[in-house]
């Protein structure tokens, strides 16, 4: 079975196509976006050579679910999800930063903390914290929104405002929306026996209205711990059982790759690819509480996507 790693459609009204790290994004009539979530996988801002079967379906369906579950907090770009790997929505003008919400000290933040840093994006962090320990309250640590192949860079709230990237009033709204979204995601996760550890949100504007964009609460944009055993592992200083893309990063680091220009991306074996696919499906089933129904993977997948998208576009344009 081959993963879906690239698409080449000529949809009605097509004006531009953008290929991101994971998604192929088609702009239609300068008003709508057709976002196809492929099976590409990235780590350290580098797209890995092999795709992960069903990863695109998992990401698209989790994101679509959470966009629906949070539309009362902030409007979002989604109009419909006409195919297991596709969401169609409004074209918006994105803000040039991503809002990272962290509830726990782990991942890259922990690595910086271990190296002696006691601030994250200008926010002070207490001494004597343990890996995976919760912050007193979730913190927002923004990053710049990098182009394909470039690294996102940490940036403070003060730098964002001083550089005029976002107005003070709009940034305040983004903070409110981000914390409210994180709280909602944490509630859903807790009901499913998980902890939402950290995540990222992207926002943009359509006219004067702020919209939530892209994906939300997926294993590519978020980190989850299992709730059961969390406290015991924290007290013992043991690694947490988690559902996220962090295990892919850890595998790459074990192979000597951290995204630096002179490093060679290690090749993923079929067994590694299968295990990654299974982890994505596991997260889907945990976070949704429903069995994952695999879409058909054969030579009809391209025709299926095209038919489903075109049927929706016929009603929009």
113 and 66 part of one domain: no
CB neighbourhood size of 239 (10 A): 11
181 and 226 part of one domain: yes
**For residue range 116-172, what is the model confidence (pLDDT) as tens digits?**
999 999 999 999 999 999 999 999 999 998 665 456 789 999 999 999 999 999 999
Dihedral (CA of 105, 109, 115, 116) sign: negative
Cite the beta strand spans of 2-127 per DSSP E: 14-19, 23-28, 32-37, 42-43, 46-47, 78-83, 86-90, 93-94, 97-104, 119-120, 123-124
Could you list the residue range(s) of the whole structural domain that residue 42 is in? 14-93+269-316
120 and 135 part of one domain: yes
Q: Is residue 254 included in any domain, yes or no? A: no
Q: What is the per-residue pLDDT for 175?
A: 98
CA dihedral defined by 271, 273, 277, 279, rounded to 10 degrees? 70
* Pairwise CA distance, residues 67 & 116, whole Å: 38
The phi and psi torsions of 177 (rounded to 5 degrees) equal -60, -45
Q: What is the per-residue pLDDT for 315?
A: 96
* Pairwise CA distance, residues 225 & 163, whole Å: 36
117 and 215 part of one domain: yes
227 and 112 part of one domain: yes
CATH of the domain at 221: 3.30.470.20
Domain final position from 248, 279, 305: 248
101 and 241 part of one domain: yes
In contact, 60 and 87? CB cutoff 8 Å: yes
- Nearest partner of 282 among 271, 268, 292, 272, judged by Cα: 292
Q: What is the per-residue pLDDT for 167?
A: 97
Domain final position from 248, 277, 302: 248
The two tokens of residue 65 are 């679910």
Q: Is residue 36 included in any domain, yes or no? A: yes
174 and 291 part of one domain: no
44 and 158 part of one domain: no
145 and 282 part of one domain: no
* Pairwise CA distance, residues 250 & 164, whole Å: 36
3-state secondary structure 136-157: EEEEECCEECCCCCCCCCECCH
* Pairwise CA distance, residues 279 & 242, whole Å: 10
Q: Is residue 256 included in any domain, yes or no? A: no
Predicted TM-score of the model (pTM): 0.90
Q: Is residue 9 included in any domain, yes or no? A: no
Q: What is the per-residue pLDDT for 88?
A: 98
147 and 48 part of one domain: no
155 and 216 part of one domain: yes
- Nearest partner of 289 among 188, 218, 216, 215, judged by Cα: 188
Q: Is residue 168 included in any domain, yes or no? A: yes
Q: What is the per-residue pLDDT for 151?
A: 61
Q: Which residues of the chain have pLDDT under 70?
A: 1, 146-151
The two tokens of residue 240 are 């947490």
Could you give the number of structural domains in the chain?
A: 2
47 and 187 part of one domain: no
Q: What is the per-residue pLDDT for 250?
A: 85
The phi and psi torsions of 63 (rounded to 5 degrees) equal -60, -45
Q: What is the per-residue pLDDT for 299?
A: 83
> Which burial class, exposed, middle or buried, applies to 142 when counting CB atoms under 10 A from its CB (0-12, 13-18, 19+)?
buried
Q: What is the per-residue pLDDT for 150?
A: 53
């Amino acid at each position: 079975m081959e993963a879906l790693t690239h698409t080449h459609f000529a949809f009605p009204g097509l004006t531009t196509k953008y290929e991101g790290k994971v998604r192929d994004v088609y702009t239609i009539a300068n008003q709508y976006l057709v976002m196809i979530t492929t099976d590409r996988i990235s780590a350290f801002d580098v797209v890995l050579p092999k795709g992960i079967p069903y990863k695109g379906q998992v990401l698209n369906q989790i994101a679509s679910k959470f966009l629906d579950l949070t539309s009362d907090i902030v409007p979002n770009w989604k109009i419909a999800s006409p195919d297991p790997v596709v969401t169609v929505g409004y074209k918006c003008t994105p803000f040039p930063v991503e809002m990272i919400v962290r509830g726990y000290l782990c991942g890259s933040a922990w690595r910086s903390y271990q190296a002696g840093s006691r601030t994250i994006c200008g926010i002070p962090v207490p001494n004597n914290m343990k890996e995976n320990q919760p912050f007193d309250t979730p913190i927002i640590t923004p990053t710049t929104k990098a182009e394909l192949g470039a690294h996102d860079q940490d940036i403070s709230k003060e730098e964002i405002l001083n550089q005029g990237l976002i107005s003070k009033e709009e940034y305040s709204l983004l903070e409110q929306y981000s914390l409210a979204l994180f709280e909602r995601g944490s509630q859903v996760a807790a009901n499913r026996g998980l902890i939402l550890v950290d995540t990222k949100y992207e926002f943009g504007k359509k006219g004067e209205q702020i919209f939530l964009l892209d994906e939300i609460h997926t294993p590519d944009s978020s980190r989850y711990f299992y709730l059961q055993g969390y406290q015991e592992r924290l007290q013992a200083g043991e690694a947490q059982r988690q559902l996220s893309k962090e295990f892919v990063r850890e595998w790459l680091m074990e192979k000597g790759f951290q995204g630096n220009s002179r490093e060679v991306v290690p090749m993923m074996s079929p067994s590694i690819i299968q295990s990654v696919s299974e982890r994505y499906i596991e997260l889907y089933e945990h976070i949704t509480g429903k069995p994952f129904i695999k879409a058909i993977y054969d030579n009809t997948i391209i025709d299926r996507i095209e038919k489903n998208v075109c049927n929706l576009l016929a009603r929009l344009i």
